[in-house]
C-alpha cells in the first residue's frame, strides 16, 4: 500500500496526510516491530529512510531490526565529542556484531563549538544550547536528505512519549517510524536476551539511558530510565526528537532557527526568559527583570552564574548602575516598535555607564529600526519577523550611513564639520 | 541661504533611496500598512481621506526661486496642479500616487529639499520668523541656529520614536512672529549681562485638544550649550512622556502634569551630565553656518520712503497693499513684502503651479532669489527694494495674489478640513471662503483693521483656532457640523488661548455671527487705532456674548 494520493488544497492535504498516517498506524500489531520497519523500508519510503542511533543502552535492539531488514540502511551516529569512551567502543562492537555496513559519524561544526562552547562547559550552564550545537545543528543538513527516519523511541520512556505511534508525520512532511513504540523496558531486555545482543559496557553499571557523558547519570532502581539524562534540569528531550505530529513542533522550529543576531550572524541563543519558577541562587543564562533583580539583589550578586538583565519601558536603568558589571547581557524590550524609550536606555548604558557587554533588543523590531538601534549602542537583536531576518542575512538593511549628530561610542567623524559621523 | 555640501547631498540621497526601498516593499505587500505607517510618516507621507498626502519641509520657511519652481513642477507632474502651504512653513500635495513618491523625493533632492520628519513622532521641521534676516526689530537672524537644529534633529536615532510629534520654533526678534509659545520648544533670542546673544528656552506650549502656553524653562542658554540642553529636554521627554494615551503624549502634558519645576530638575540633571560634551557647539561652526545666511548685496537705494497716503489716492488697491503687506526692513531702501495667499473666495494657502512659477520669477527678478513661507499660510519676499514695489505689485496682480489684506479679517488661517482630512469633523475651507466673501469689500476690511480669524475643522487645531482673535472650531454634533467660536486668542509674545464664547453655530450662520462680533467691536472701540484684540482685552467677553446670544 502506498501513501494515499494527496489533494492540492492545503487543508485537504493536511487531512489526507493525517488519515494516511492513521491508516498506517492501524496496520500493525503493537509488537510487530519487524513488520513496521519492513513495510516502511519497502512500501512507505523505499531508499529514503535512515536512522540516527545514539549507540546507547537500548540501541542494539533497533539496530538488530535494521540489520534484519536492510543492513545497508544509513545509520548516523552523533559524535558530539562528549561521549563516554565506552560508547565509542560499543559503536564498533555493534557494527561488527550486526553486520551494519553504512554507519556514519556526524560531528558538530568546529566554528560553532569554538564560538559557543570554547571552554567545553556549555553543557553545564546551558544544556539546551549544548544539545543544539552538538546534535540539532549537525543533524539538520542530514535530515533534509531523507523522507523519513527510524527512531528507537518507546512509549514507556517518558511521559512526553506516552502516546507515541508507529508512524508519525512531522510538520515538515517527513515520516518518523517508531518500530519499538510499544516496547516496554522488559520487552527490550527480553529481546536482547532472545537475540544474544551485546550490552553497552555501562549498562551493567546502572546507566539505563545513555547519552553524552556529562549529562548522563546512573538511574536508581524504579526510576524513570531516562531520569539519568540531564538530571536536575527541566529537560527531557535533546531537541532532535521534538515534533510529535507537530504537537511539540515549536521547540524544534525554534531550535533549528536561531533568532539571536549578533556579530553579523544568527546564532544559538544561550539565554532564556526568566520565569516564576526561577530562583536567584540557581538562575543561569536568564534575563532577570530589573525589579526582580532589585528585590533579590544580594542573592544574585553572590552567585557566579552568567546572568542577564531585562529592561522594559518604564524601568530606570539608573537603579542598577552599580551592578551592571554583574550582567553579561542586557535585554531591552520593545513591546511595540513605536515605543522609543529603549533607545535612551541603550545610550545611557553604552555612553554614560560604559557598559561594554551585550545590549540586545527584544520584542517588536523592524529592519528599519535596527540601524537606529545600533547607533544607540545595541549590538544584538532577537528577531522573529521573517522579512527582517532575511534583510539581516542578506545585509540589506535600509540605512542612511551618514549621520548629522554624534551618537554612540563607535561612530567616527567625517569631514571637518564638528558633528558629522559615519559608521565605523 | 544654506547650501548643501557633499555630505548633505549624500545624506538626502541616502534617505531617498531608503524610502524608495520601503515604498517598494509596501507596494509588493512585503510590508503591511501598519508597518509602513511610521516609516512613511517619517518621510512626510500621510494617508488622507482620498489619497496619500505628501508634506515637504521648507526648513525654517526659507526657499529659493528654483525650489519654488520645483514645487510647481511637482504640482503639475504628479499632482492636480496645485499645492497647499501650511502653518508649519511646509507645502503639502494632496493627490500624489504612492508609486510616484520615490521619483518626487528624488526630484526634490536635486534642489536640496526633502520630506524628512515632516510627520511622525519625531522632531519636525524647525520653524522660524518669516522675516528672519530682514526684520528691523531683529536681535539676531534665527536661521543659522534653526539650520543647526535641523541637522542635529535629522534622523536622530534616539528621538525617532518619541511619545508624540515634537515641534521647535525659533525667533530672533522680540516681536514673536513664529508663535514660539505654542510650540513644544520655543527659542527666543536673549542677551545676557555680558551682552552675548543666547536663547530663552520655552517648553510645553501647544495647541491641539489641550492648548497650553509654553513655560520658560531656562532664561539663557548660550549657543555653545544649546544642543546639549535641547538633547537633555528630548531625553527627559522620550523617557518620561506619556505613551498610554496619544492625546496626552505631547510634552505640554508632561510639563503640565509633573510641573515645570520637576521637569526642569530632570532636564538640569541630564544637562549636568552632557554639558560640555560632544554636543558642545563650536563658535566656528555657528560662524560657518551663519555665513550661508549673509545678507544679500544690498545697494544704496534712490527711494527710502513710501508715501502710502499719496499712492492710496492714485490707486487705492495698491495703497491698501502698501499699507498692509509691507514690513519694515533693517536695510534702508528695502522692505519685506507679504504675498497674500488669501484672495477673496480662495482656499487659504493654496497656489497653482502657474502661480508658483510666477512667484519664483518675481523672487528672482526683484527679491534676491529668496522666498519665505509664513506660519499664517502666506509667502514673503524678504528683501525688495522700495523702488521696485510697484513692479512687484503689478506682477503679483497678474498672479492673482495681490490682495492687500495681510493681517486683516480675510487673511485667515484655515486647515484643510473635511474636504481633505481624515481627522476632520467639519469643513473649514468653504467656511473661510464664505467669510472672505462676506468681508470682501476692501474698505470694510481696512476699517476693521487687524483681526486674525483662524479656523480648524476639528479639535486637533491645525488651523490654530485657539490663538485666533476670533477662533472657529468645527465639531460634529448630532450628525451635523457645528462651529464653536472662541475669542481673545493670541499667538504672539502676548500669548493667550481663546475662550469659547457660547453655543456653536451652524455653518450658514457663522459669517453672520462673525459680522455681529465685528460690528460690536467697531461700535465699542475707543478709536480706529484700538484693534479688535485690544478692545476685547479691555471690554471682556460680555458685550460680544450679549451681541451674539442676547441678554438671556
A313 to chain B, closest Cα gap in Å: 8
Nearest to B79 by CA among B356, B343, B280, B324: B356
CATH number, domain of B370, equals 3.90.480.20
- Flag whether residue B30 sits within 8 Å of chain A, measured between CB atoms: yes
Residue for grid cell 562492537: A93
Whether B194 is covered by a domain: the verdict is yes
- Best residue of A317, A341, A396 to probe chain B, by most B CBs closer than 10 Å: A341
d(CA A313, CA A142): 43
Select from B5, B38, B235 the Cβ nearest to the Cβ of A338: B38
pLDDT for A79 equals 87
d(CA B383, CA B329): 8
Contact B38 A371 (CB under 8 A): no
- Flag whether residue B29 sits within 8 Å of chain A, measured between CB atoms: no
Contact A340 B162 (CB under 8 A): yes
Range of the domain at B67: 6-109
Residue B485 has pLDDT above 90, yes or no: yes
Nearest to B151 by CA among B275, B292, B40, B262: B292
Q: Which residue of A has its CA nearest to B281?
A: A418
Are A122 and A81 contacting, i.e. CB atoms less than 8 angstroms apart?
no
d(CA A70, CA A41): 8
Same domain, A232 and A266: no
Contact A405 B156 (CB under 8 A): yes
Whether B85 is covered by a domain: the verdict is yes
Domain boundary among A195, A220, A251: A251
Select from B18, B30, B158 the Cβ nearest to the Cβ of A344: B158
pLDDT for A217 equals 66
Sheet strands (E) in B268-375: 326-328, 334-339, 350-352, 370-373
The length of chain A, given as a count of residues: 424
Whether B222 is covered by a domain: the verdict is yes
Contact B161 A375 (CB under 8 A): no
Q: Give the count of beta carbons closer than 10 Å to the beta carbon of residue B102.
A: 18
Q: Which residue of A has its CA nearest to B156?
A: A405
Of A237 and B105, the one with more pLDDT: B105
The DSSP code for B166 is B
Same domain, B76 and B178: no
Q: Hey, what's the cell of B58?
A: 521648507
Whether B1 is covered by a domain: the verdict is no
Q: Hey, what's the cell of B258?
A: 509633573
Q: Give the count of beta carbons closer than 10 Å to the beta carbon of residue B305.
A: 8
Select from A347, A366, A401 the Cβ nearest to the Cβ of B14: A401
pLDDT for B140 equals 97
Question: Using one digit for the tens of pLDDT, what is the confidence trace for B11-33?
Answer: 999 889 888 888 888 888 888 88
> Is A238 a catalytic site residue?
yes
Same domain, B98 and B150: no
Whether A408 is covered by a domain: the verdict is yes
pLDDT for B292 equals 95
Same domain, A237 and A379: no
Whether B405 is covered by a domain: the verdict is no
The number of folded domains in chain A is 2
- Flag whether residue B543 sits within 8 Å of chain A, measured between CB atoms: no
Are A346 and A378 contacting, i.e. CB atoms less than 8 angstroms apart?
yes
pLDDT for B453 equals 97
Same domain, A240 and A353: no
Same domain, A170 and A293: no
pLDDT for A6 equals 36
The helix (run of H) or strand (run of E) holding residue B413 is strand B413-414
Same domain, A285 and A220: no
Select from B31, B161, B163 the Cβ nearest to the Cβ of A343: B161
Q: Which residue of A has its CA nearest to B232?
A: A344
pLDDT for A161 equals 56
A418 to chain B, closest Cα gap in Å: 7
Same domain, A228 and A336: no
Contact A376 B15 (CB under 8 A): no
Are B84 and B56 contacting, i.e. CB atoms less than 8 angstroms apart?
no
Q: Give the count of beta carbons closer than 10 Å to the beta carbon of residue B26.
A: 20
Domain boundary among A234, A251, A268: A251
Whether A1 is covered by a domain: the verdict is no
Same domain, A157 and A234: yes
Select from A345, A373, A415 the Cβ nearest to the Cβ of B7: A415
Whether A280 is covered by a domain: the verdict is yes
A371 contacts on B by Cβ (under 8 Å): 157
Average predicted confidence (pLDDT) for chain B: 94
Write the CB contacts of B339 (distance below 8 Å, at least 6 apart in sequence): B325, B359, B378, B379, B380, B381, B396, B401
Contact A387 B279 (CB under 8 A): no
Contact A402 B160 (CB under 8 A): no
pLDDT for B496 equals 96
Same domain, B40 and B179: no
Q: Hey, what's the cell of B372?
A: 519665505
Are B22 and B36 contacting, i.e. CB atoms less than 8 angstroms apart?
yes
A406 to chain B, closest Cα gap in Å: 7
The number of folded domains in chain B is 4
pLDDT for A420 equals 93
A377 contacts on B by Cβ (under 8 Å): none
Same domain, A293 and A177: no
Residue B67 has pLDDT above 90, yes or no: yes
Select from B153, B238, B288 the Cβ nearest to the Cβ of A340: B238
Under 8 Å CB pairs connecting chains A and B tally to 95
Q: Give the count of beta carbons closer than 10 Å to the beta carbon of residue A378.
A: 27
Of A18 and B254, the one with more pLDDT: B254
Whether B500 is covered by a domain: the verdict is yes
Domain boundary among B91, B109, B127: B109
Question: Using one digit for the tens of pLDDT, what is the confidence trace for B147-160?
Answer: 999 999 999 999 99
d(CA B431, CA B424): 14
The length of chain B, given as a count of residues: 552
Same domain, B273 and B371: no
Select from B157, B238, B282 the Cβ nearest to the Cβ of A375: B157
Whether B268 is covered by a domain: the verdict is yes
Range of the domain at A286: 258-422
Nearest to B392 by CA among B379, B411, B410: B379
d(CA A116, CA A137): 13
Q: Which of residues 451-470 of B touch A (CB under 8 A)?
A: none
pLDDT for B231 equals 98
Of B1 and B212, the one with more pLDDT: B212
Contact B160 A343 (CB under 8 A): yes
Same domain, B158 and B238: yes
Contact A343 B158 (CB under 8 A): yes
d(CA B62, CA B56): 13
d(CA A285, CA A132): 15
Same domain, B202 and B337: no
- Flag whether residue B286 sits within 8 Å of chain A, measured between CB atoms: no
B84 to chain A, closest Cα gap in Å: 29
State the complex-level ipTM: 0.93
- Flag whether residue B279 sits within 8 Å of chain A, measured between CB atoms: yes
Select from A337, A343, A400 the Cβ nearest to the Cβ of B155: A400
Domain boundary among B109, B126, B160: B109
A79 to chain B, closest Cα gap in Å: 42
Q: Return the SS3 of B471.
A: strand
Are B426 and B482 contacting, i.e. CB atoms less than 8 angstroms apart?
yes
Whether B437 is covered by a domain: the verdict is yes
The CA-atom distances, in angstroms, between B256 and each of A78, B185, B193, B499, B539 are 65, 14, 31, 19, 30
pLDDT digit of tens for each residue in chain A (424 aa)?
Answer: 333 333 344 444 454 455 566 667 767 777 788 888 988 888 878 888 999 888 888 889 999 999 988 989 999 998 888 888 888 899 999 999 999 999 988 899 888 888 888 888 887 777 778 888 888 888 888 878 888 889 888 877 655 555 678 887 776 777 888 999 888 888 888 999 999 999 988 888 877 778 887 777 666 666 656 665 665 554 555 544 433 322 222 233 333 467 889 888 887 788 888 999 999 988 888 999 999 999 999 999 998 888 999 999 999 999 999 999 999 899 999 998 889 999 999 999 999 999 999 999 998 888 888 999 999 999 999 987 777 888 888 887 767 788 999 999 889 999 889 999 988 7
Domain boundary among B367, B399, B431: B399
CATH number, domain of B263, equals 3.30.413.10
Domain boundary among A198, A229, A251: A251
pLDDT for A221 equals 62
d(CA A226, CA A211): 10
Nearest to B464 by CA among B420, B422, B505, B495: B495
CATH number, domain of A223, equals 3.40.50.620
Q: Rounded to a whole number, what is the distance in angstroms from the first to the last CA of chain B?
A: 58
Whether A160 is covered by a domain: the verdict is yes
Sheet strands (E) in A268-363: 272-273, 286-289, 307-311, 327-334, 358-363
Residue B456 has pLDDT above 50, yes or no: yes
**Burial profile B51-60: b = 16 or more Cβ within 10 angstroms, e = fewer:** bbbbbbbbbb
Q: Return the SS3 of B189.
A: strand
Are A135 and A240 contacting, i.e. CB atoms less than 8 angstroms apart?
yes
- Best residue of A338, A366, A411 to probe chain B, by most B CBs closer than 10 Å: A338
Whether A93 is covered by a domain: the verdict is yes
Nearest to A335 by CA among A364, A376, A366: A364
Angle at A206 (CA atoms; ends A68, A182), nearest 5 degrees: 40
Q: Which residue of B has its CA nearest to A336?
A: B161
Same domain, A313 and A399: yes
Are A198 and A63 contacting, i.e. CB atoms less than 8 angstroms apart?
no
B152 contacts on A by Cβ (under 8 Å): 404-405, 419
The DSSP code for A389 is H
B7 contacts on A by Cβ (under 8 Å): 402, 414-415, 417, 420
Q: Give the count of beta carbons closer than 10 Å to the beta carbon of residue A240.
A: 22
B225 to chain A, closest Cα gap in Å: 14
Sheet strands (E) in A79-189: 103-106, 148-150, 167-169, 175-177
Same domain, B243 and B275: yes
A406 contacts on B by Cβ (under 8 Å): 278-279
- Flag whether residue B262 sits within 8 Å of chain A, measured between CB atoms: no
Catalytic annotation, pick one of A131, A212, A215, A238: A238
Whether A4 is covered by a domain: the verdict is no
- Best residue of B20, B161, B245 to probe chain A, by most A CBs closer than 10 Å: B161
Same domain, A237 and A265: no
Whole-angstrom Cα Rg for chain B: 23
Same domain, A235 and A337: no
Contact A417 B7 (CB under 8 A): yes
Same domain, B192 and B251: yes
- Flag whether residue B9 sits within 8 Å of chain A, measured between CB atoms: no
Amino acid at each position: 500500500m502506498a501513501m494515499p494520493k494527496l489533494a492540492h488544497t492545503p487543508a485537504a492535504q493536511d487531512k489526507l496526510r493525517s488519515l494516511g498516517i492513521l491508516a498506517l498506524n492501524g496496520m500493525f500489531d503493537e509488537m510487530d516491530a519487524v513488520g513496521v520497519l519492513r513495510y516502511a523500508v519497502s512500501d512507505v519510503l523505499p531508499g529514503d529512510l535512515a536512522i540516527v542511533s545514539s549507540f546507547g543502552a537500548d540501541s542494539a535492539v533497533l539496530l538488530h531490526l535494521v540489520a534484519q531488514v536492510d543492513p545497508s540502511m544509513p545509520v548516523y551516529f552523533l559524535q558530539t565529542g562528549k561521549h563516554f569512551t565506552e560508547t565509542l567502543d560499543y559503536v564498533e562492537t555493534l557494527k561488527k556484531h550486526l553486520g551494519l555496513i553504512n554507519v556514519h559519524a556526524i560531528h558538530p561544526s568546529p566554528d560553532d563549538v569554538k564560538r559557543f562552547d570554547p571552554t567545553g562547559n556549555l553543557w553545564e550552564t546551558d544544556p539546551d544550547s549544548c544539545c543544539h550545537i552538538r546534535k540539532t545543528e549537525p543533524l539538520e543538513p542530514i535530515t533534509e536528505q531523507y523522507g523519513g527516519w527510524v527512531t528507537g523511541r518507546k512509549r514507556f520512556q517518558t511521559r512526553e512519549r506516552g502516546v507515541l505511534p508507529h508512524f508519525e508525520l512531522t510538520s515538515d512532511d517527513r515520516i518518523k517510524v517508531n518500530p519499538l513504540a510499544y516496547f516496554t523496558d522488559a520487552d527490550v531486555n527480553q529481546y536482547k536476551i532472545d537475540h544474544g545482543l551485546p550490552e553497552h559496557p555501562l549498562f551493567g553499571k546502572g546507566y539505563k539511558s545513555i547519552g553524552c557523558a556529562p549529562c548522563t547519570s546512573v538511574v536508581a532502581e524504579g526510576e524513570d530510565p531516562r531520569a539519568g539524562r540531564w538530571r536536575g534540569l527541566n529537560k527531557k528531550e535533546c531537541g532532535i526528537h521534538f515534533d510529535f505530529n507537530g504537537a511539540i513542533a515549536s521547540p524544534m522550529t525554534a531550535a533549528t532557527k536561531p533568532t539571536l543576531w549578533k556579530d553579523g550572524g544568527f546564532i544559538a541563543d544561550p539565554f532564556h526568559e526568566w520565569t516564576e519558577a526561577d530562583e536567584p541562587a540557581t538562575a543561569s543564562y536568564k534575563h532577570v527583570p530589573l525589579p526582580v533583580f532589585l528585590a533579590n539583589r544580594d542573592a544574585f550578586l553572590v552567585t557566579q552564574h552568567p546572568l542577564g538583565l531585562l529592561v522594559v519601558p518604564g524601568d530606570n536603568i539608573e537603579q542598577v548602575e552599580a551592578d551592571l558589571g554583574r550582567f553579561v547581557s542586557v535585554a531591552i524590550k520593545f513591546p511595540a516598535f513605536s515605543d522609543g524609550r529603549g533607545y535612551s536606555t541603550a545610550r545611557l548604558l553604552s555612553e554614560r555607564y560604559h557598559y561594554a557587554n551585550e545590549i540586545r533588543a527584544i520584542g517588536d523590531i523592524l529592519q528599519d529600526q535596527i540601524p537606529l538601534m545600533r547607533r544607540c549602542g545595541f549590538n544584538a537583536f532577537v528577531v522573529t519577523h521573517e522579512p527582517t531576518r532575511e534583510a539581516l542575512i542578506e545585509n540589506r538593511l535600509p540605512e542612511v550611513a551618514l549621520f548629522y549628530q554624534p551618537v554612540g561610542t563607535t561612530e567616527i567623524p567625517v569631514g571637518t564639520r564638528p558633528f558629522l559621523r559615519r559608521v565605523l | 541661504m544654506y547650501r548643501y555640501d557633499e555630505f548633505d547631498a549624500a545624506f538626502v540621497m541616502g534617505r531617498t533611496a531608503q524610502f524608495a526601498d520601503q515604498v517598494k516593499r509596501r507596494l509588493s505587500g512585503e510590508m503591511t500598512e501598519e508597518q509602513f505607517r511610521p516609516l512613511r510618516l517619517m518621510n512626510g507621507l500621510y494617508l488622507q481621506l482620498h489619497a496619500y498626502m505628501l508634506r515637504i519641509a521648507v526648513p525654517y520657511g526659507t526657499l529659493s526661486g528654483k525650489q519654488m519652481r520645483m514645487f510647481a513642477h511637482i504640482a503639475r507632474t504628479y499632482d492636480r496642479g496645485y499645492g497647499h502651504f501650511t502653518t508649519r512653513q511646509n507645502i503639502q500635495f494632496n493627490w500624489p500616487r504612492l508609486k510616484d513618491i520615490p521619483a518626487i523625493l528624488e526630484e526634490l533632492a536635486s534642489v536640496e529639499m526633502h520630506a524628512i520628519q515632516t510627520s511622525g513622532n519625531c522632531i519636525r521641521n524647525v520653524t522660524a520668523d518669516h522675516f528672519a534676516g530682514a526684520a528691523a526689530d531683529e536681535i539676531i537672524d534665527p536661521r543659522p541656529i534653526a539650520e543647526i537644529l535641523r541637522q542635529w534633529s535629522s534622523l536622530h536615532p534616539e528621538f525617532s520614536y518619541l511619545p508624540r510629534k515634537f515641534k521647535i520654533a525659533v525667533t530672533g526678534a522680540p516681536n514673536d512672529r513664529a508663535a514660539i509659545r505654542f510650540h513644544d520648544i520655543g527659542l527666543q533670542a536673549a542677551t545676557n549681562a555680558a551682552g552675548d546673544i543666547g536663547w530663552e528656552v520655552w517648553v510645553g506650549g501647544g495647541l491641539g485638544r489641550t492648548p497650553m502656553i509654553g513655560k520658560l524653562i531656562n532664561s539663557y542658554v548660550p549657543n555653545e550649550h544649546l544642543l546639549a540642553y535641547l538633547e537633555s529636554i528630548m531625553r527627559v521627554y522620550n523617557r518620561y512622556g506619556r505613551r498610554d494615551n496619544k492625546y496626552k503624549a505631547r510634552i505640554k502634558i508632561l510639563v503640565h502634569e509633573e510641573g515645570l519645576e520637576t521637569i526642569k530638575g530632570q532636564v538640569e540633571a541630564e544637562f549636568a551630565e552632557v554639558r560640555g560634551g560632544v554636543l558642545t557647539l563650536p563658535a566656528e561652526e555657528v560662524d560657518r553656518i551663519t555665513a550661508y545666511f549673509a545678507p544679500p548685496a544690498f545697494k544704496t537705494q534712490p527711494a527710502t520712503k513710501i508715501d502710502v497716503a499719496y499712492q492710496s489716492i492714485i490707486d487705492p488697491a495698491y495703497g491698501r497693499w502698501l499699507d498692509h503687506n509691507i514690513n519694515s526692513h533693517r536695510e534702508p531702501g528695502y522692505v519685506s513684502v507679504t504675498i497674500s495667499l488669501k484672495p477673496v473666495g480662495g482656499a487659504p494657502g493654496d497656489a497653482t503651479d502657474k502661480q508658483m512659477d510666477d512667484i519664483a520669477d518675481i523672487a528672482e527678478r526683484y527679491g534676491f532669489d529668496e522666498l519665505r513661507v509664513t506660519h499664517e499660510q502666506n509667502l514673503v519676499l524678504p528683501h525688495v527694494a522700495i523702488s521696485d514695489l510697484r513692479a512687484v505689485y503689478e506682477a503679483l496682480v497678474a498672479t492673482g495674489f495681490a490682495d492687500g489684506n495681510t493681517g486683516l479679517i480675510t487673511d485667515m488661517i484655515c486647515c484643510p478640513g473635511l474636504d481633505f482630512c481624515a481627522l476632520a469633523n467639519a469643513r473649514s475651507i468653504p467656511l473661510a471662503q464664505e467669510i472672505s466673501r462676506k468681508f470682501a469689500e476692501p474698505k470694510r476690511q481696512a476699517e476693521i483693521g487687524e483681526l486674525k480669524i483662524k479656523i480648524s475643522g476639528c479639535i486637533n487645531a491645525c488651523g490654530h483656532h485657539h490663538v485666533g482673535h476670533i477662533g472657529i472650531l468645527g465639531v460634529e454634533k448630532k450628525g451635523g457640523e457645528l462651529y464653536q467660536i472662541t475669542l481673545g486668542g493670541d499667538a504672539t509674545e502676548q500669548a493667550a488661548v481663546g475662550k469659547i464664547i457660547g453655543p456653536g453655530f451652524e455653518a450658514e450662520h457663522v459669517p453672520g455671527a462673525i459680522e455681529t462680533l465685528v460690528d460690536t467691536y467697531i461700535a465699542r472701540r475707543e478709536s480706529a487705532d484700538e484693534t479688535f484684540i485690544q478692545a476685547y482685552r479691555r471690554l471682556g467677553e460680555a458685550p460680544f456674548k450679549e451681541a451674539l446670544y442676547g441678554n438671556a
